[in-house]
Structure 1
Amino acid sequence: MPKHDYVKTARPKAKPRKKAPAKAPFPWLVLSVTAGLVLIFGWFLWTINQQEPVTTKPQPPVAVKDELPERPTEEPYQYIRELENREVVVEVRELESRGPFQMQCASFRSEEQADAMRAQIAFAGFSSSIRRTEGSNGVWYRVVLGPYDSRRQAESDRNRLRRNGINSCQIWNWN
């Protein structure tokens, strides 16, 4: 059985190279268009130079009347006098206190970590406490601030703590 050379049969046959077309000696069309544009631009500048400048005659100043209209003797609107003599009654509602709030900044398994967080909060200018809680999943040490009378006070302190790099504080009702 004859041996086949599969490598040579898989290669395509080389095509003969085509000769490059001869280059045009010089682009006369481009040169003539460029020369025409330069001539048109020069003609445009020459016509602008030949025009006479436009001058306007100065207008005499117009006398400006500085008269104001007469001041009215009475106010044309009545509501001004009516509002001076009226009393506005506004109903002010008392907001319900939704209870004291507390802010928890961290919760740790070890008391040393809780003390370290409490020290960071102390450096920010706040007093905090550590509460030990025992649950079904073990002992936790929570770093807590508060109680606060309103949520607004707690939000204010939380924003100050965020500016000092303590971003983990959460606020909730303390009942």
Structure 2
Amino acid sequence: MPRRDYVKTARPKAKPRKKAPAKAPFPWLLLSVTAGLMLLFGWFLWTINQQEPVSTPAAPVVEVEKDPLPERPTEEPFQYIRELENREVAVEVRELESRGPFQMQCASFRSEEQADAMRAQIAFAGFSSSIRRTEGSNGVWYRVVLGPYDSRRQAEADRNRLRRNGINSCQIWNWN
């Protein structure tokens, strides 16, 4: 049995070398056409510049007489201006009655740990709050409460600041 050379048969055959691509000829035709178009465009602009402007016949100027202004009235046609200058107006100023102290509740939880977490979040926003434990027919609840506020406007201002800090669940109610 003849010996076979398995190493030589496993080698890939050498690929023939590719020829280097031929250099493209310089585009003389494209260059000459572009130069010709540029010269033609320059000649066109020069001829436009050399033409004399066409004069249009001037329209005849007609002077129009302006309407005279009406005479200034000697008296003011409206009398209410003089009447209001010296008149005093009586206005009733009522005292706004306080509708009572207001309170803002931001959350209500079953567990005290959740209420403490909400209270800490409110404290990071810069407000002091308290947790109130309430017992009702449906079990024990822990409320996170801010206040009391003398007016609803103060409570609204604090609620808007809390909203800017990402706490959107606050409700204002009368504490009577």
The Cα shift of 1:78 comes to 1.0
Output aligned runs, 1:74-153, within 5 Å.
74-153=75-154
Q: In 2, Cα distance between the equivalents of 1:76 and 1:49? A: 65
Q: For residues 24 and 131 of structure 1, do their structure 2 counterparts lie closer, same or farther at Cα, with a shift above 3 Å needed?
A: closer
The Cα shift of 1:157 comes to 1.8
Q: In 1, Cα distance between the equivalents of 2:87 and 2:127? A: 49
Q: For residues 43 and 123 of structure 1, do their structure 2 counterparts lie closer, same or farther at Cα, with a shift above 3 Å needed?
A: closer
Alignment correspondent of 1:46: 46
The Cα shift of 1:127 comes to 1.6
Q: Percent identity?
A: 91
Q: Where does the alignment leave 5 or more consecutive residues of structure 1 unmatched?
A: none
Q: Are 1:171 and 2:172 counterparts?
A: yes
Q: Which moved more, 1:96-105 or 1:85-94?
A: 85-94
The Cα shift of 1:82 comes to 0.5
Q: Are 1:7 and 2:23 counterparts?
A: no
Q: For residues 28 and 123 of structure 1, do their structure 2 counterparts lie closer, same or farther at Cα, with a shift above 3 Å needed?
A: closer
Q: For residues 11 and 141 of structure 1, do their structure 2 counterparts lie closer, same or farther at Cα, with a shift above 3 Å needed?
A: farther
The Cα shift of 1:69 comes to 4.5
The Cα shift of 1:110 comes to 2.0
Q: In 2, Cα distance between the equivalents of 1:40 and 1:155? A: 77
The Cα shift of 1:79 comes to 0.9
Q: Where does the alignment leave 5 or more consecutive residues of structure 2 unmatched?
A: none
Find the residue that maps to 1:25 and give its secondary structure: coil
Q: For residues 149 and 40 of structure 1, do their structure 2 counterparts lie closer, same or farther at Cα, with a shift above 3 Å needed?
A: same
Find the residue that maps to 2:40 and give its secondary structure: helix
Q: Which moved more, 1:61-70 or 1:77-86?
A: 61-70
Matched length: 175
Deviations 1:96-146 (A, max 9, x none): 221111010011122221111111112222221111223333332211011
Deviations 1:3-46 (A, max 9, x none): 99999999999999999999999999999999999999999999
Q: In 2, Cα distance between the equivalents of 1:69 and 1:11? A: 114
Find the residue that maps to 2:116 and give its secondary structure: helix
Q: In 2, Cα distance between the equivalents of 1:11 and 1:130? A: 84
Q: In 1, Cα distance between the equivalents of 2:156 and 2:39? A: 77
Q: In 1, Cα distance between the equivalents of 2:146 and 2:2? A: 94
Q: In 1, Cα distance between the equivalents of 2:124 and 2:56? A: 77
Deviations 1:46-82 (A, max 9, x none): 9999999999854445557596544433322111111
Q: In 2, Cα distance between the equivalents of 1:7 and 1:138? A: 88
